Amino acid sequence: MAHVKLKYRKYQKDCLMQQVLVHNVNKIYRNGCIALHAVDLAIEQGEIFALLGPNGAGKTTLISIICGLVTKSSGQVLVAGHDIQRDYRAARMRIGMVPQEIALDIFETVWNTVLFSRGLFGKRRDTAYLEQLLRDLSLWNKRDARVIELSGGMKRRVMIAKALSHEPDILFLDEPTAGVDVTLRRDMWALVRRLREKGVTIILTTHYIEEAEEMADRVGVIDKGRLLLVERTVSLMRKMGKRRLTIVLQHPLADVPLELAGWQLELEENGHNLIYSFDANAENTGIPTLLRRIAELGIEFRDLDTARSSLEDIFVSLVERAA
């Protein structure tokens, strides 16, 4: 029964859920740089997916291939079941893309810019839709301004408006918040969530771990052209996450007492802090016993603090493991 259920789930996933399917994609640039190495990835309908990796990992290359800006060296990519090369029209109709850098015709007005984008994607003019879009992005009162007159944040929003002008099902955002101030980043995150509520699948790249953690349903970690893992953000945290208990001591210790050797404790801050790392998912953390032992030994402490490790720690350990 469980087997059948699993099989059905997989079937459902394969047929209905996968908006973007990347299979064994390789990319070698003409200068010999191997930007992608056997990448396999399935993006599900309606999710927010974060592609997380350091600079030069291959994030831009991967989404550029899916969007048709870069030709892959080998492999296959399907968008909503359409091959991006054989059936490029059907595939690209569904995709909106915001590249990493702002690229706009600065002499055009905001309105003409989005009008052009919509037309380019073969959609009939829909003034009401475009008006709503510009309103949502707080650009409506700037519709007749030329792009050159806009602030950096507004230009970024114009880029998003262009990408959404043809009502795509899938939105690619390449480092949407790189070099963006805090307010704009918040706005961007809110926008992404609103879009997801409307059923738009969102794939964003980032090298900010907090962004992936905050936004994404799932995270793919990429480094040196290899996709190291793809995991639900929550389960990734659960699986990989460690927790740290920090015990702030009244009097510093020179060494961890022998009696506590079983917990593998560490001392930090010149012996003022006693650190206990434990598995975040363990049923039995051993904390109560540890505290009792500490009390029995007459070690006084004035504070306790526990912290969950961030994706950053996870990422560092992953990259180390892959190296």
Q: Site for Mg ion (CB under 5 A): how many residues?
A: 2
What string of DSSP letters covers 160-175? Answer: HHHHHTT--SEEEEES
Quick check: 101 binds another protein (CB under 8 A)?
yes
Quick check: 284 binds ligand ADP (CB under 6 A)?
no
Binding mask 134-163 for another protein (x = CB under 8 A): ----------------------------x-
User: Going by DSSP bridges, is the β-strand pair 170-174/226-232 parallel, antiparallel, or unpaired?
Assistant: unpaired
Quick check: 29 binds ligand ADP (CB under 6 A)?
yes
Q: Which is nearer to another protein, 101 or 149 (CB)?
A: 101
Residue with tokens 């390449």: 174
Quick check: 69 binds ligand ADP (CB under 6 A)?
no
Q: Would the CA dihedral through 222, 226, 230, 236 be positive or negative? A: negative
Helical (H) or strand (E) element with 260: none
CA distances from 159 to 96, 155, 174 (A): 10, 6, 11
Query: Among another protein, Mg ion, ligand ADP, none, what does residue 53 contact (CB within 5–8 Å per kind)?
Result: ligand ADP
- Tell me which of 18, 19, 61, 165 binds ligand ADP, using CB under 6 A: 61
Closest contact distance (angstroms) between CB of 312 and ligand ADP is 17
Quick check: 244 binds another protein (CB under 8 A)?
no
Quick check: 60 binds Mg ion (CB under 5 A)?
yes
Are residues 322 and 57 in contact, defined by beta-carbon separation less than 8 angstroms? no
CA distances from 10 to 13, 25, 199, 236, 303 (A): 5, 22, 21, 20, 48
Binding mask 94-133 for Mg ion (x = CB under 5 A): ------x---------------------------------
Are residues 43 and 103 in contact, defined by beta-carbon separation less than 8 angstroms? no
**Binding residues vs Mg ion (CB under 5 A):** 60, 100
**Binding residues vs ligand ADP (CB under 6 A):** 29, 31, 33, 35, 53, 55-61
